[in-house]
Chains A and B, each alone.
Chain A
Amino acid sequence: MKKTILAAAGLLGFAALCAAPINAQSGTPWLHVRVEEKKDTTKVSVNIPLSVVEAVLKASPEFFEKHGKIRIGNDHGLKLADMRKVWKELAAVGDAELVSVESDDENVKVMRKGDLVQVFVDNKRKAGKDGEKGGETVRVEVPTSLVDALLSGEGEEANVEAAIMELKKRRGDIVRVHDDDSHVRVWIDEQNTQVAAAAPSGK
């Protein structure tokens, strides 16, 4: 009897050890958005479980078409199919400066660096007398895996379902935007608040 109890206890202990890492990885992913405005001292934090984001997208038929794909079309001169081809070719190149536009008013750079797509916009506009805003600097960083997932659809459809699956796996920053007035950070972790991660690690 004693042997049976010991064996059962051992089995339970082994099962608990095996289950522990699984539990550690299966925490609920939360999508966090943090917006900080320098002038107004306004701070906005939004924390939403990804399951809720997924439910919203799935339940919104005009946004999320059948099988989780969004039709983008040519409304803004943007062909997703072409973007997909270019992205595929760029993936083979590896780290590279994808776009570089320099003008008197604005410099724009799009780069692929490691697992990030970086967009830099430097607007050189001078502040107007009527309160018109001066130039601004925008920095956006998006993981390449997210772009891969979005472009994994066919034709003129972005695969949002795949993007959400990718987001579920991902932990860390998704998008960062810095400009002169504000700082926006979108990231995913398993915490239900931003208390520990509130301070944006600016560039």
Chain B
Amino acid sequence: MKLAIILGVPVAMLATIASLGVVVVDVREGGPDGNRIVVPVPLVFAQVALALAPIAAPDHAMRVPEQALEHMDLAKEVLEALAAAPDGEYVRVEDHDELVVVAKEGRYFKVNVKNGTRENVSVNVPINLALQALPGRDGRIRTAALAGALSGVRFTNLVDVQDGKDHVRVWVW
């Protein structure tokens, strides 16, 4: 019975944390001696940190500069229009070996940069997360809203960078 409790409590805690989501940073170095570093960060930790940021951080650090604030209405309108817009390939730039593609797929903006066969960068930007990252009318970054929006990006590959034999991947599980 004692053993069951000793084993059961951490397993239950891990299961709870995992069920709330985990951000995983996976770095793989190429070559035979390449290291592999995997850092799992429970999403709930990031959410708590974001929610507590306004208390811990100085006020000016939580505010967007006045000059940038002027353009926030435009940014919001554009992001909202993009969120409502149909899916498609929005930008494609082909230059010799380089290819850049920006596409909208569902609730994500997908940016893909290829440089020959060596480099391949893929970034998925959740549109809702970008919207929540915009400050309010008072210029304050709404960290609580941002924390809430994080739970909406689960099961997403946020970043995938392949540079030669090195590979970096950030995803939310």
Do A and B actually bind? yes
> Within 8 Å CB of A56, what residues of B?
74, 77-78, 81
Q: Given A41-B95, A59-B73, A60-B74, check contact A192 B86 (CB 8 Å).
A: yes
Assembled-state Cα–Cα distance A43/B96 (Å): 9
Contacting B at CB under 8 A, from A45-93, are 45-49, 51-52, 54-56, 58-60
Assembled-state Cα–Cα distance A10/B86 (Å): 33
Q: Given A28-B86, A192-B86, A192-B87, check contact A52 B92 (CB 8 Å).
A: no
Contact A45 B91 (CB under 8 A): yes
User: Does residue B164 face the partner (Cβ distance < 8 Å to A)?
Assistant: no
* Residue of B88, B91, B95, B96 touching A192 (CB-CB under 8 A): B88
> Within 8 Å CB of A59, what residues of B?
73-74, 76-78
What is the minimal beta-carbon distance from A33 to any residue of chain B, in angstroms? 10
> Within 8 Å CB of A28, what residues of B?
85-86
Residues 19-44 of A, flagged 1 when their CB comes within 8 A of B and 0 if not, give: 00000000010100000000011111
How many residues from A make CB contacts under 8 Å with B? 23
Contact A49 B85 (CB under 8 A): yes
Contact B82 A52 (CB under 8 A): yes
> Within 8 Å CB of B74, what residues of A?
56, 59-60
Assembled-state Cα–Cα distance A168/B47 (Å): 43
Assembled-state Cα–Cα distance A41/B73 (Å): 38
Contacting A at CB under 8 A, from B83-101, are 84-96
What is the minimal beta-carbon distance from B162 to any residue of chain A, in angstroms? 24
Assembled-state Cα–Cα distance A59/B72 (Å): 10
Assembled-state Cα–Cα distance A54/B74 (Å): 12
What is the minimal beta-carbon distance from A51 to any residue of chain B, in angstroms? 6
Q: Given A55-B80, A59-B77, check contact A47 B90 (CB 8 Å).
A: yes
* Residue of A42, A48, A49, A52 touching B94 (CB-CB under 8 A): A42
What is the minimal beta-carbon distance from B79 to any residue of chain A, in angstroms? 9
User: Does residue A100 face the partner (Cβ distance < 8 Å to B)?
Assistant: no
Assembled-state Cα–Cα distance A88/B68 (Å): 43
Contact B81 A55 (CB under 8 A): yes
What is the minimal beta-carbon distance from A69 to any residue of chain B, in angstroms? 18
* Residue of B78, B89, B96 touching A41 (CB-CB under 8 A): B96
Contact B93 A44 (CB under 8 A): yes
User: Does residue A193 face the partner (Cβ distance < 8 Å to B)?
Assistant: yes
What is the minimal beta-carbon distance from A164 to any residue of chain B, in angstroms? 13
What is the minimal beta-carbon distance from B15 to any residue of chain A, in angstroms? 42
* Residue of B73, B77, B81, B92 touching A45 (CB-CB under 8 A): B92
> Within 8 Å CB of B82, what residues of A?
52
Contact A51 B77 (CB under 8 A): no
Specify which of B73, B74, B76, B96 lies most central, judged by the most chain A CB atoms within 10 Å of its CB. B74
> Within 8 Å CB of B88, what residues of A?
30, 47, 49, 192-193
> Within 8 Å CB of B96, what residues of A?
40-41
Specify which of A42, A47, A52 lies most central, judged by the most chain B CB atoms within 10 Å of its CB. A52
Q: Given A55-B77, A59-B73, check contact A49 B92 (CB 8 Å).
A: no
> Within 8 Å CB of A51, what residues of B?
81, 84-85
* Residue of B76, B78, B90, B93 touching A43 (CB-CB under 8 A): B93
- List 10 tightest A-B contacts by C-beta distance, closest first: A192-B88, A55-B81, A59-B77, A45-B92, A43-B94, A49-B85, A59-B74, A52-B81, A42-B95, A193-B89
Known A-B contacts: A45-B91, A46-B91. Give 10 more (CB < 8 A): A44-B92, A47-B88, A49-B85, A52-B82, A56-B74, A56-B78, A58-B77, A59-B74, A59-B76, A192-B86
